[in-house]
C-alpha cells in the first residue's frame, strides 16, 4: 500500500505517518515528488488496513499497489527520478553519456581514453576493475589497483566514475573509490549483493540479466530500493535469443515498456547489446530515439589490443562521431516528448 499525503502536508504530519507504519512493524519509504509526498510501505506479508491511516492529519488517500514491485512503480512516484551524481545527473533533460573501456588495463590506457571521453562532453567514465569473465583464465581486472586508477581519472578529468562490484567486499572497495556502483547482468539476481548495494550511499546502475524478464529486472531494482537506496538506474544491455548475428539482442522495446511502469531512469548499452563495433553507433542512435535517458558505451584507444571486449569497442574517433549523432537525435526528441 502507499499513502499519498496532501500537497500542504507538513513534515510533522509525514513523520507521524511514518511512525505509525514503523509501529506496525513495516518499513516506510517516503518519496517527495514535485507536488506531494507519497509513502510506500514494505515488509507487510498481507494487505495493510487502510483505515489505520485514512484519518491521520495530512493524509490525502491510501492506494493499494497491485504490482509486485511497490517502490519501482509509477504509482508511488508519477514523476521521473533524476539520479544525481555530484553535479551530473541521469534522468534529467540532458542525455547522460557513460563511456570508457570494458576493463581498466593500465594508467596509460585509462588516461588516453578519459581524455577522449572528457573532450566529448560526456560526464561519466566507465571501466571495470573487477570483471565477470566467462572463462576463469581470461583477464579478471586489476582489482583495487584499477579502482585507484579510476579515482585518479576522476580527480584529473572531472569525470564521474561508474564501475562494477561483483561481490560484497567489492562493494566496500568500489564505495571507497567510485561514484556509481554497476551491478552486472550476471549479478542481477544476486540478492545478497542487491541488498548490500541497497544500503549504499552511492547510486546503482542495474544491468538487465541475460535472460531476465521485465518483471524480474524491476524486482531486482525493488530489492535495492527496499533497503532504502532509491538512486537506481536501469540499463538494457541485450538478452539471449536465437539470433546469431549479434552477441546479444538489444531489446529496445524495454525502454518504453519500463517507462510505462516505473519512474526510474533507463539507459541503453549498445556495446554489450550488439558485441560488434559496426553495430554500436546505429543501436546507440536507436536507443536515444526510443527515449533512453542515456547510453553506456565501450571505447578503447587501441581496440585490437584490448584485454576484454575489443570487438565491440569504439575508437576515439568513432565515439566522438557517436556523441555528435546521438546529441542531435536527443535535441529533436526532447521537445517532441514535451509537446
Q: How far apart are CA 130 and CA 140, in angstroms?
A: 6
Give the SS3 label for residue 152.
helix
Residue with cell 571486449: 309
Q: How far apart are CA 23 and CA 27, in angstroms?
A: 9
Q: Could you list the residues that contact Mn ion (CB under 5 A)?
A: 102, 309
Residue 146 touching ligand PEP (CB under 6 A)? no
Residue 29 touching ligand PEP (CB under 6 A)? no
Residue 134 CB coordination number (10 Å): 7
Binding-residue total with ligand PEP (CB under 6 A): 9
Q: Which stretch binds ligand PEP (CB under 6 A): 51-59, 110-118, 183-191, 326-334?
A: 183-191
Which of ligand PEP, Mn ion, none is residue 306 near (CB under 5 to 8 Å by kind)? Answer: none
Q: How far apart are CA 155 and CA 145, in angstroms?
A: 16
**Cβ-based nearer residue to ligand PEP, 91 or 184:** 184
Q: How far apart are CA 185 and CA 207, in angstroms?
A: 5
Q: Is 46 exposed, middle or buried (0-12, 13-18, 19+ CB in 10 A)?
A: exposed
Q: Which stretch binds ligand PEP (CB under 6 A): 34-42, 179-187, 195-203, 279-287?
A: 179-187
**Cβ-based nearer residue to ligand PEP, 70 or 207:** 207
C-beta of residue 96 within 8 angstroms of C-beta of residue 89 = yes
Q: How far apart are CA 334 and CA 339, in angstroms?
A: 9
**Cβ-based nearer residue to ligand PEP, 128 or 198:** 128
Interactions with ligand PEP, residue window 265-284 (CB under 6 A): 272
Which of ligand PEP, Mn ion, none is residue 132 near (CB under 5 to 8 Å by kind)? Answer: ligand PEP
Q: Among candidates 34, 26, 41, which has minimal Cα distance to 71?
A: 41
Out of 4, 76, 102, 250, the only residue in the binding site for ligand PEP (CB under 6 A) is 102
Task: Give least dist CB 107 to Mn ion, A.
Answer: 19
Residue 300 CB coordination number (10 Å): 28
- Bridge partners, residue 103, by sequence: 128
Q: Among candidates 43, 23, 110, which has minimal Cα distance to 302?
A: 110
Task: Give least dist CB 207 to ligand PEP, A.
Answer: 4
Q: How many whole angstroms from its chain centre is CA 75?
A: 20
Which of ligand PEP, Mn ion, none is residue 207 near (CB under 5 to 8 Å by kind)? Answer: ligand PEP
Which of Mn ion, ligand PEP, none is residue 237 near (CB under 5 to 8 Å by kind)? Answer: ligand PEP
Q: How far apart are CA 78 and CA 97, in angstroms?
A: 25
Task: Give least dist CB 272 to ligand PEP, A.
Answer: 4
Q: Among candidates 223, 181, 231, which has minimal Cα distance to 81?
A: 231
Residue 184 touching ligand PEP (CB under 6 A)? yes
Task: Give least dist CB 101 to Mn ion, A.
Answer: 8
**Cβ-based nearer residue to ligand PEP, 91 or 100:** 100
Cell of 113: 581514453
Interactions with ligand PEP, residue window 204-263 (CB under 6 A): 207, 237
Residue 102 CB coordination number (10 Å): 23
User: Binding string, 188-207, against ligand PEP, x = CB under 6 A?
Assistant: -------------------x
Residue 246 CB coordination number (10 Å): 17
Which of Mn ion, ligand PEP, none is residue 184 near (CB under 5 to 8 Å by kind)? Answer: ligand PEP
Task: Give least dist CB 193 to ligand PEP, A.
Answer: 13
Q: Which stretch binds ligand PEP (CB under 6 A): 12-20, 51-59, 182-190, 214-222?
A: 182-190
Q: Which positions touch ligand PEP (CB under 6 A)?
A: 102, 128, 132, 184-186, 207, 237, 272
Amino acid at each position: 500500500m502507499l499513502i499519498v499525503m496532501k500537497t500542504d502536508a507538513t513534515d510533522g504530519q509525514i513523520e507521524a505517518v511514518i511512525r505509525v507504519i514503523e509501529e506496525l512493524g513495516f518499513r516506510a519509504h517516503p518519496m517527495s515528488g514535485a507536488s506531494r509526498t507519497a509513502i510506500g510501505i514494505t515488509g507487510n506479508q498481507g494487505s495493510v488496513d487502510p483505515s489505520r491511516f485514512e484519518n491521520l492529519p495530512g493524509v490525502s488517500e491510501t492506494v493499494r499497489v497491485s504490482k509486485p514491485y511497490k517502490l519501482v512503480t509509477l504509482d508511488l512516484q508519477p514523476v521521473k527520478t533524476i539520479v544525481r551524481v555530484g553535479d551530473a545527473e541521469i534522468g534529467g533533460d540532458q542525455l547522460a553519456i557513460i563511456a570508457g573501456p570494458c576493463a581498466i588495463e593500465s594508467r596509460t590506457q585509462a588516461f588516453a581514453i578519459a581524455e577522449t571521453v572528457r573532450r566529448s562532453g560526456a560526464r561519466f567514465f566507465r571501466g571495470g576493475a573487477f570483471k565477470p569473465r566467462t572463462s576463469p583464465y581470461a583477464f579478471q581486472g586489476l582489482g583495487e589497483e584499477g579502482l585507484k586508477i579510476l579515482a585518479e581519472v576522476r580527480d584529473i578529468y572531472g569525470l564521474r566514475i561508474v564501475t562494477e562490484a561483483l561481490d560484497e567486499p567489492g562493494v566496500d572497495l568500489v564505495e571507497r573509490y567510485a561514484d556509481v556502483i554497476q551491478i552486472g547482468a550476471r549479478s542481477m539476481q544476486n540478492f545478497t549483493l542487491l541488498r548490500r548495494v541497497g544500503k549504499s550511499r552511492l547510486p546503482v546502475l542495474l544491468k538487465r540479466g541475460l535472460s531476465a524478464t521485465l518483471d524480474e529486472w524491476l524486482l531486482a531494482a525493488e530489492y535495492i530500493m527496499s533497503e532504502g537506496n532509491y538512486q537506481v538506474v536501469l540499463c538494457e544491455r541485450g538478452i539471449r535469443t536465437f539470433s546469431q548475428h549479434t552477441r546479444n539482442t538489444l531489446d529496445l522495446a524495454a525502454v518504453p515498456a519500463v517507462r510505462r511502469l516505473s519512474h526510474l531512469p533507463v539507459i541503453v548499452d549498445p556495446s554489450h547489446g550488439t558485441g560488434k563495433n559496426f553495430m554500436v553507433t546505429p543501436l546507440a542512435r536507436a536507443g536515444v530515439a526510443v527515449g533512453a535517458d542515456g547510453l553506456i558505451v565501450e571505447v578503447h584507444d587501441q581496440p585490437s589490443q584490448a584485454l576484454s571486449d575489443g570487438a565491440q569497442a569504439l575508437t576515439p574517433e568513432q565515439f566522438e562521431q557517436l556523441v555528435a549523432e546521438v546529441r542531435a537525435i536527443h535535441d529533436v526528441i526532447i521537445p517532441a516528448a514535451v509537446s
